[in-house]
Chain A
Amino acid sequence: QKEVEQNSGPLSVPEGAIASLNCTYSDRGSQSFFWYRQYSGKSPELIMSIYSNGDKEDGRFTAQLNKASQYVSLLIRDSQPSDSATYLCAGRFYGNNRLAFGKGNQVVVIP
Chain B
Amino acid sequence: GAGVSQSPSNKVTEKGKDVELRCDPISGHTALYWYRQSLGQGLEFLIYFQGNSAPDKSGLPSDRFSAERTGGSVSTLTIQRTQQEDSAVYLCASSPSPAYTDTQYFGPGTRLTVL
Same complex for A and B? Answer yes
Q: Footprint of B on A, CB under 8 Å?
A: 31-32, 34, 36, 42-46, 49, 51, 88, 90, 92, 94, 97-104
In the complex, which of the residues A97, A101, A104 contacts B48, with contact meaning CB atoms closer than 8 Å? A97
Among the stretches B14-22, B78-86, B95-103, the one at the interface with A is B95-103
In the complex, which of the residues A31, A36, A101, A102 contacts B101, with contact meaning CB atoms closer than 8 Å? A31
- Of all chain A residues, the one with the shortest Cβ separation from B6 is A43
Distance in angstroms from A86 CB to nearest chain B CB is 10
The answer to whether B42 has its CB under 8 Å from any CB of chain A is: yes
The answer to whether B50 has its CB under 8 Å from any CB of chain A is: yes
Number of interface residues of B (CB under 8 A): 21
How many A-B contacts at CB < 8 Å in the complex?
Answer: 51
Q: Footprint of A on B, CB under 8 Å?
A: 33, 35, 41-43, 45, 48, 50, 56, 59, 91, 98, 100-101, 103-109
- Of all chain B residues, the one with the shortest Cβ separation from A49 is B103
- CB pair B106–A44 under 8 Å, yes or no, is yes
In the complex, besides A43-B106, A101-B42, 4 extra interface pairs with C-beta distance below 8 angstroms are A44-B91, A88-B43, A90-B43, A94-B100
- Of all chain B residues, the one with the shortest Cβ separation from A44 is B106
Which residues on the A side are within 8 Å of B108 (C-beta)? 42-43
Q: Which of B41, B43, B91, B105 has the most CB of A within 10 A?
A: B43
